[in-house]
Chains A and B, each alone.
Chain A
Amino acid sequence: MALPPEAAGHAAESSGLGGGGSAAKPHARRDSVVIRFAGDSGDGMQLAGMQFTAESALAGNDIATLPDFPAEIRAPAGTIAGVSGFQLNFSSREVFTAGDEPNVLVAMNPAALKANLDDLPPNGVIIVDREAFNEANVKRAGYATNPLTDHSLDKFQVFQVDVSKLTNAALHSTGLNNRAVFRCRNMFVLGMLSWLFQRPIESTERWLEGRFRKTPELLNANLLALRAGFNYGDTTEMFASSYEVQPAKIVPGLYRNITGNSATALGFVAAAVKSGRPLFLGSYPITPASDVLHELAGYKNFAVYTFQAEDEIAGVSSAIGAAFGGAIAITTTSGPGMNLKAEAVGLAVKTELPMVITDVQRAGPSTGMPTKPEQADLLMAMYGRHGESPIPIIAAATPADCFECAYEAVRLAVSYMTPVILLTDGQLANGSEPWLLPDADKLPPIKVEFASDPNGFMPYKRNPETLARLWAIPGTPGLEHRIGGLSSEDVTGNVSYSPANNELMVRTRARKIAGIAREIPPTTIFGDANGGDVVVLGWGSTYGAVREAVKQLRDKGKSVSHIHLRYLNPLPADLSDQLRKFKKVMVAEMNMGQLLKMIRADYLIDAVGCNKIQGRPFKVNELINRISRLLEG
């Protein structure tokens, strides 16, 4: 069967989900399960998935999720283009990815089945809403015949549940119209799966109470559907047993489930609070970055200003203005917006004003695949401005890591008086994982010191160690001064066309950014600290897949290690030496080889690439195969 084998020491009760009905339903134990919820964009599969995730997190499992939805908000119902999916890996062990392939596929209609079937391994479990497989829907999905009856699914375990009919029956007494009842199907499915995997539904009930606080009739309907689904799981003869995934052994502490965009937003709020300054976000809505704007808009009592600008350029420009005035200034966007912001970011480089530009990367070029992740903006972050304009770059590795990276980006920006680019991507933004909550009191300090002494004040006077210039904000008597994009004289900041001065200023800014390397912790090697056959170098959201692949290969005795970078500019000072300890260096990234180019160019190391540009994260098995070939070759 498709579910992973039972944990050692537990007798198998049945060979699959199905089987003859038995009066007392047993629990079968599993180490980890991967479920994919799939349906029409309007079927509420993202919500069902997120709530199942919350239930699993509260049950103590380690989890990783990967939402996968179309850019179209509501593509024609029942078509492949409109299929929205949410994959969740929950486990009693540490998990690093949302799983290569689902063990269980929930398909709310034929299109959802068709769009996801290729990912399902033989004997995988398919749960469908039987009534959705009517003639019209089958045709709309592009099937010639009904897959439920034409034996094309014989290699899978198919469970046909009358989700629509049962939801209807459960909600009969509510008097709600068909449309409203139809929209509760996701809660029926969630209830059913909650029973199947022994998730308590109380947290979902609480969540529904909050969501439908103002519409008691909808709250009642959703609760009825949820409980009906749960009870159906228990009473139906279809499912022979339920499954139990024990809590994972993870680092002790207080946890919550968090998406990358939420963690990014919280990281910025925390940095602003710690610095004692207001936070200003100038942003133009863009997928998949908008949630950071939405979330920050709700934190006004933290002195958080959110400004929905008229365009991307105004987003970054307003942030520059706020930085000039002494706020913690940020802008958030995705690739197309990064292009538009480039000129203004150059102004922030030249005027040496602190700010953070967050690029939630998505698949390009051009509009590309807005809801799908990619890592192809690295070289743009490095070089995508005219003139010599170096910028520190930080990349988050996991959804929760976005918090620390956002925080660190602000810290570097104000410590070095420079714009900083924070790279995340669509996978991190919408994916989630348990987050070990940091102690707010123990976050590293962020020291903001404004110039105040008019005696000998010069706008480009620098801190001798960091080379950061003074931050002199309007409102400070005696420090009236002018800054601008024109080349300016060292120290005084007066407009200057002196050739030697221009080179001095360009080199000084470059030295300032390069000097940040002194703050980067030594590179850690997962695996062979003293070197070995292969090291996989990664950055950003590939962390989970790379770590899992390397782990699995090491379990088989292979000499494979993993280095994952948070700091991409400057690179860690010891990175070159660490990489040279290995016979082969492979750079895994979701682009055509951008970090690879940097490594080869900076270090003259003959690294090779492992690249994927499909708008989908690496699968663990893809990496294992690629690394294995490198080990052999």
Chain B
Amino acid sequence: MATALTRKDFVSDQEVRWCPGCGDYAILAQVQKIMPEFGIPRENIVFISGIGCSSRFPYYMNTYGFHTIHGRAPAIATGLKITRPDLDVWVVTGDGDGLSIGGNHLIHALRRNIDLNILLFNNQIYGLTKGQYSPTSEFGKVTKSTPMGSVDFPFNPITVALGAHATFVARSVDVEQKHLGETLKRAHGHRGAAFVEILQNCNIFNDGAFNDVTDKAIKADHQLVLENGKPLVFGKNRDKGIRMNGNRPEVVTLGHGVSEADLVVHDETNLSLAFMLGNFEAPLPTPVGVFYATNRPAYDAAMNAQLAEARAKQGEGDLAALLKRGDTWTVS
């Protein structure tokens, strides 16, 4: 059955019902595009989601899918992956689903390093409930539920994931199709929990939230594409870089005595550097790409190894012997 699949094989028969212009379309298209490259039969792929706009995702993938309840997708995916390590399991969540109501499950799935691909669509707003601020909305944001501005300090998905000791942490952007595709492929290739924040535009309730990294006119000056082993260079003319000033990062312009050799070189295995990059905010650029990648045994693999070890040491379970275990006596 080695017939190569195409993008169309991953398109389900369900009509896509996101708002016209939603960033989710672009993400769906990219996921469907890269899927055939993995060479995994459709029946071995499962998409699991919670509740929210992004969580409709599984309905549109012609794979196995489970649209579950608010925030619980990582927990449901955990039970599936532990018992079915043969499956390729994806979790699709949003900033409300994954970082508010389901925050607990997300951090624990990351820390356990369950072999899941977790895509968090971050649009910094509650879309499905029509426009309340989310745990990633900026401080002071005026929404229906915060008419005088939010006094709620936001989470940063990248540093939350790093803080939970995720073994793979990356960020991409809905409309950056090539970068998104490459990032998803890296995530998929990672053994263990791979966390990808995807900056996603909600054109109805939070339009333009990421304009600085998506607007073609200005994005090059605001987006820092991370490449492992390469100096942190950005800018329309690739003439800007990140240099350490003491122990603080700063933006410098190349030339006039500043060369690439003075810049910070990205190292995906450096957790401290990943935290620093994760905390970048203006005037520093917004990093996209792989912040951190390391190898640690995945929980599901370790658990299955324990089961195999138990079988090897004790033999296959014998039910009759188990029932009779311990002190028994016969009544005649």
B-contacting residues of A (Cβ < 8 Å)?
A: 54, 57-58, 60, 203, 206-207, 247, 250-257, 266, 269-270, 273-274, 278, 280, 282, 299-305, 307, 309-311, 313-314, 317-327, 329, 343-344, 346-347, 351, 437-441, 474-486, 494-495
* Contact across chains for A318 and B78 when beta carbons are under 8 A apart: yes
B237 located at the interface, meaning its Cβ lies under 8 Å from any Cβ of chain A in the complex: no
Chain A residues with CB under 8 Å of B310's CB are: 300-301
A-contacting residues of B (Cβ < 8 Å)?
A: 1, 12, 14, 41-46, 48, 51, 58-59, 61-69, 72, 75-84, 86-87, 104-105, 108, 303, 306-307, 309-311, 313-317, 319-320, 322-332
With contact pairs A301-B311, A484-B59, A485-B67 given, residues A321 and B79 touching in the complex (Cβ less than 8 Å): yes
Contact of A270 among B68, B75, B303, B319 (CB under 8 A): B319
Contact of B323 among A266, A311, A347, A476 (CB under 8 A): A266
* Contact across chains for B72 and A485 when beta carbons are under 8 A apart: no
* Contact across chains for A478 and B67 when beta carbons are under 8 A apart: no
Contact of B317 among A54, A273, A309 (CB under 8 A): A273
Query: How far is it, in angstroms, between the C-alpha of A305 and the C-alpha of B191 when the chains are bound?
Result: 21
Chain B residues with CB under 8 Å of A321's CB are: 48, 66, 75-81, 83
* Contact across chains for A300 and B306 when beta carbons are under 8 A apart: yes
With contact pairs A325-B84, A484-B68 given, residues A280 and B104 touching in the complex (Cβ less than 8 Å): no
* Contact across chains for A343 and B69 when beta carbons are under 8 A apart: yes
Known: A256-B324, A256-B328; 4 extra A-B contacts, CB below 8 A, are A300-B309, A307-B303, A311-B104, A484-B67
Chain B residues with CB under 8 Å of A252's CB are: 330-332
* Contact across chains for A307 and B59 when beta carbons are under 8 A apart: no
23 contacts between A and B (CB under 8 A): A60-B331, A247-B331, A254-B324, A254-B328, A254-B329, A255-B328, A256-B327, A300-B310, A302-B322, A310-B108, A311-B104, A314-B75, A317-B105, A318-B76, A324-B80, A326-B83, A344-B72, A437-B323, A438-B323, A474-B44, A474-B84, A475-B44, A482-B61
* Contact across chains for A319 and B58 when beta carbons are under 8 A apart: no
* Contact across chains for A480 and B62 when beta carbons are under 8 A apart: yes
With contact pairs A326-B84, A327-B83 given, residues A299 and B64 touching in the complex (Cβ less than 8 Å): no
* Contact across chains for A474 and B317 when beta carbons are under 8 A apart: no
* Contact across chains for A278 and B83 when beta carbons are under 8 A apart: yes
Most A C-beta atoms less than 10 A away, residue of B306, B309, B326: B326
* Contact across chains for B317 and A269 when beta carbons are under 8 A apart: yes
Q: Which 4 A-B pairs have the closest CB atoms?
A: A484-B67, A321-B79, A318-B79, A302-B317
Chain B residues with CB under 8 Å of A437's CB are: 323-324, 328
* Contact across chains for B327 and A203 when beta carbons are under 8 A apart: yes
Chain A residues with CB under 8 Å of B77's CB are: 321
With contact pairs A301-B310, A317-B105 given, residues A324 and B76 touching in the complex (Cβ less than 8 Å): yes
Query: How far is it, in angstroms, between the C-alpha of A304 and the C-alpha of B78 when the chains are bound?
Result: 15
Chain A residues with CB under 8 Å of B1's CB are: 477
Chain A residues with CB under 8 Å of B83's CB are: 278, 280, 305, 321-322, 325-327
Most A C-beta atoms less than 10 A away, residue of B72, B77, B81, B306: B72
* Contact across chains for A482 and B65 when beta carbons are under 8 A apart: yes
Which chain A residue lies CB-closest to B63? Answer: A480
Query: How far is it, in angstroms, between the C-alpha of A380 and the C-alpha of B33 when the chains are bound?
Result: 47
Query: How far is it, in angstroms, between the C-alpha of A251 and the C-alpha of B80 when the chains are bound?
Result: 43
Chain A residues with CB under 8 Å of B86's CB are: 475
- Expressed in whole angstroms, the minimum distance between the Cβ of A553 and any Cβ of chain B is 28
Query: How far is it, in angstroms, between the C-alpha of A523 and the C-alpha of B218 when the chains are bound?
Result: 78
Query: How far is it, in angstroms, between the C-alpha of A582 and the C-alpha of B38 when the chains are bound?
Result: 70
Contact of A58 among B42, B104, B329 (CB under 8 A): B329
With contact pairs A256-B328, A310-B104, A314-B105 given, residues A305 and B44 touching in the complex (Cβ less than 8 Å): no
* Contact across chains for B58 and A484 when beta carbons are under 8 A apart: yes
* Contact across chains for B328 and A481 when beta carbons are under 8 A apart: no
Query: How far is it, in angstroms, between the C-alpha of A321 and the C-alpha of B58 when the chains are bound?
Result: 15
Chain B residues with CB under 8 Å of A303's CB are: 307, 311, 317
Contact of A256 among B48, B303, B313, B326 (CB under 8 A): B326
Chain B residues with CB under 8 Å of A254's CB are: 324, 328-330
Most A C-beta atoms less than 10 A away, residue of B48, B75, B322, B332: B75
Chain A residues with CB under 8 Å of B79's CB are: 280, 282, 307, 317-325, 327, 329
Chain A residues with CB under 8 Å of B313's CB are: 301
* Contact across chains for A480 and B306 when beta carbons are under 8 A apart: no
* Contact across chains for B331 and A313 when beta carbons are under 8 A apart: no
* Contact across chains for A320 and B87 when beta carbons are under 8 A apart: no
Query: How far is it, in angstroms, between the C-alpha of A474 and the C-alpha of B105 when the chains are bound?
Result: 23
Chain A residues with CB under 8 Å of B12's CB are: 482
Which chain B residue lies CB-closest to A58? Answer: B329
* Contact across chains for B82 and A478 when beta carbons are under 8 A apart: no
Chain B residues with CB under 8 Å of A301's CB are: 307, 310-311, 313-317
Query: How far is it, in angstroms, between the C-alpha of A320 and the C-alpha of B69 when the chains are bound?
Result: 11
- Expressed in whole angstroms, the minimum distance between the Cβ of B309 and any Cβ of chain A is 8
Which chain A residue lies CB-closest to B70? Answer: A343
Chain B residues with CB under 8 Å of A318's CB are: 75-76, 78-79, 82
Chain B residues with CB under 8 Å of A247's CB are: 331
Query: How far is it, in angstroms, between the C-alpha of A479 and the C-alpha of B46 when the chains are bound?
Result: 12
Chain B residues with CB under 8 Å of A203's CB are: 327
Query: How far is it, in angstroms, between the C-alpha of A325 and the C-alpha of B87 when the chains are bound?
Result: 9
With contact pairs A300-B310, A313-B72, A344-B72 given, residues A480 and B64 touching in the complex (Cβ less than 8 Å): yes
Chain B residues with CB under 8 Å of A476's CB are: 43
Query: How far is it, in angstroms, between the C-alpha of A343 and the C-alpha of B64 when the chains are bound?
Result: 22
Which chain B residue lies CB-closest to A273? Answer: B319
Chain A residues with CB under 8 Å of B315's CB are: 301
* Contact across chains for B68 and A475 when beta carbons are under 8 A apart: no
Query: How far is it, in angstroms, between the C-alpha of A182 and the C-alpha of B323 when the chains are bound?
Result: 36
Query: How far is it, in angstroms, between the C-alpha of A206 and the C-alpha of B14 when the chains are bound?
Result: 65
* Contact across chains for B104 and A324 when beta carbons are under 8 A apart: no
Query: How far is it, in angstroms, between the C-alpha of A207 and the C-alpha of B14 when the chains are bound?
Result: 62
Query: How far is it, in angstroms, between the C-alpha of A438 and the C-alpha of B328 when the chains are bound?
Result: 13
Chain A residues with CB under 8 Å of B43's CB are: 474-480
Query: How far is it, in angstroms, between the C-alpha of A253 and the C-alpha of B328 when the chains are bound?
Result: 10
- Expressed in whole angstroms, the minimum distance between the Cβ of A312 and any Cβ of chain B is 10
* Contact across chains for B104 and A314 when beta carbons are under 8 A apart: yes
Query: How far is it, in angstroms, between the C-alpha of A311 and the C-alpha of B105 when the chains are bound?
Result: 9
Chain B residues with CB under 8 Å of A480's CB are: 42-43, 62-64
* Contact across chains for B329 and A322 when beta carbons are under 8 A apart: no
* Contact across chains for B331 and A482 when beta carbons are under 8 A apart: no
Query: How far is it, in angstroms, between the C-alpha of A346 and the C-alpha of B42 when the chains are bound?
Result: 28
Query: How far is it, in angstroms, between the C-alpha of A351 and the C-alpha of B331 when the chains are bound?
Result: 47
Chain B residues with CB under 8 Å of A57's CB are: 327, 329
* Contact across chains for A255 and B14 when beta carbons are under 8 A apart: no
Chain A residues with CB under 8 Å of B51's CB are: 485
Query: How far is it, in angstroms, between the C-alpha of A311 and the C-alpha of B43 when the chains are bound?
Result: 31
With contact pairs A305-B303, A324-B76, A474-B87 given, residues A54 and B327 touching in the complex (Cβ less than 8 Å): yes
* Contact across chains for B323 and A317 when beta carbons are under 8 A apart: no
Query: How far is it, in angstroms, between the C-alpha of A495 and the C-alpha of B59 when the chains are bound?
Result: 9
Which chain A residue lies CB-closest to B314? Answer: A301
Chain B residues with CB under 8 Å of A344's CB are: 69, 72
Chain A residues with CB under 8 Å of B323's CB are: 266, 270, 437-438, 440
- Expressed in whole angstroms, the minimum distance between the Cβ of A486 and any Cβ of chain B is 7
Most A C-beta atoms less than 10 A away, residue of B46, B86, B309, B331: B331
* Contact across chains for A474 and B64 when beta carbons are under 8 A apart: yes
Most B C-beta atoms less than 10 A away, residue of A304, A475, A481: A475
Contact of A310 among B42, B44, B105, B322 (CB under 8 A): B105
